[in-house]
Amino acid sequence: MPIEKITMPKLGESVTEGTISNWIVSVGDVVNKYDPLAEVMTDKVNAEIPSSFSGKVKELIAKEGQTLEVGEVICTIEVEGDNSQEEQPANEETEEKAAAPINTDTSQKARYSPAVLRLSQEAGIDLTLLTGTGAGGRITRKDVQKAIQEGVPQGKVDEKVPANGSNVPADPIPKKETSVHNVQTQAGDKEFPITGLRKAIASNMVKSKHEIPHAWTMIEVDVTKLVQYRNKVKDSFKKEEGYNLTFFAFFVKAVARALKEFPQINSTWAGDKIIQKKEINISIAVATEGALFVPVIKNADEKSIKGIAREITELANKARTGKLTVDEMQGGTFTVNNTGSFGSIQSMGIINHPQAAILQVESIVKRPVIKDNMIAISDMVNLCMSLDHRVLDGLVCGRFLQRVKEILENTSEETTPIY
């Protein structure tokens, strides 16, 4: 019967790979066209991969946690029904589901999957000392993980005969003490496996730091008028609109205005050329307990402060509930990060590849400043900018920040409408 291949789809602009975080189906399951097959993570979004066909799941080629490039085969589907009792390929999912309470068959004990081999080698576990719970006594990923957490059963040690043929029992295999990076663990330490999403974030950060020569600059801004304006209208705004008017919305709007005047900042490095983007799409960083998402406010220069505030609220809520779409995560041309929400007053952001710059908005704090040769108390904020030195130089970035400063310091009820 015809076998069709399901491949890793392209889940966004500049996305070249994805990580299988969870299989929704198992071998033998009957699926309809468009039914979800697996959950996949990229550095930009979490999504489900739908089936392109109706039929029976024939083989799960990709493993959970495995990263594949766009276009690589992740599974196969038998399009038409088949009544034959064809043996299904062995894999971790079918092994673990096929395990019986009492398993005396050990015909498969010496067959190890690549995932099991990799995990045991990283942990220093001798697979010959383990009792497999999979079909035919095969050792599964869960068996290795149990050995890592609890240690190899002591009763199994005497069964191993040293290579020299002597009767001296082999030393027991200790619990895992070091990782592949030789980081020692001590009593009481806790270890947490790296999730696919965290791996994707790490990969993108490493790529950005390795490929982009970062430079950094900072400017301080007196936002006393902005604070007074926002505090005056925030309660009525919340009552009328149903969501908060945050300071961050004013900063995003100011950046969008300045980008329109300094389009060089709104660019990306493309190897043999620099591409200056027409649209001003502001990426905003949204942190959850275990991940960082960067949804995008499209055409931010065309939106009012009210519209930007609404989008910030909606995108943040979607990120924290796992409902962001692919479209909402792609197309960003410049990133604004609200690091001040954590109390930070100075930071050096890593550029959101392949953009050319990122702006960190720090905490607004009251500080003594000199005005008209007198000491005054003002609301001050630091704006910290990381830039791709292949694309941008200090002169244009300095002028850009000066323009953002000018806009913010002149934000008031008379100059800046919210609606």
100-108 — which CB contacts under 8 Å span 24+ positions?
103/132, 103/133, 103/137, 105/135, 105/136, 105/137, 106/132, 106/136, 106/137, 107/136, 107/137, 108/132, 108/134, 108/135, 108/136, 108/137, 108/138
Cα–Cα dist 283/219, whole Å: 21
Alpha helices in 62-184 (DSSP H): 92-98, 114-123, 141-150
Altogether, the residues listed in the chain come to a count of: 419
Radius of gyration from C-alpha coordinates of the chain: 28
Q: Could you count the other beta carbons within 10 Å of the beta carbon of residue 78? A: 19
SS3 content of the chain, % helix, strand, coil (to 5): 30, 25, 45
Torsion over CA of 101, 107, 109 and 115, rounded to 10 degrees? -90
Cα–Cα dist 248/410, whole Å: 16
CB neighbour burial string for 25-47, b if at least 16 within 10 angstroms, e if fewer: bebeeebeeeeebbbbbbbbbbb
Q: Does 393 qualify as catalytic in the annotation?
A: yes
Question: Which phi-psi region, left, alpha or beta, contains residue 331 (left: φ > 0; alpha: ψ -120 to 50)?
Answer: left
The one catalytic residue among 82, 235, 327, 393: 393
CB neighbour burial string for 201-216, b if at least 16 within 10 angstroms, e if fewer: beebbeebeeebebee
Q: Does 181 qualify as catalytic in the annotation?
A: no
Closest CA to 217 of 410, 406, 388, 390: 388
- From the number of C-beta atoms within 10 Å of its C-beta (0-12, 13-18, 19+), residue 254 rates as buried
Cα–Cα dist 14/45, whole Å: 12
The one catalytic residue among 29, 35, 126, 389: 389
Cα–Cα dist 19/159, whole Å: 39
Helix (H, G, I), strand (E, B) or coil at 48: strand
Residue 22 φ then ψ, to 5°: -165, 130
Tokens representing 161 are 């005969």
Kindly list the catalytic residues.
389, 393
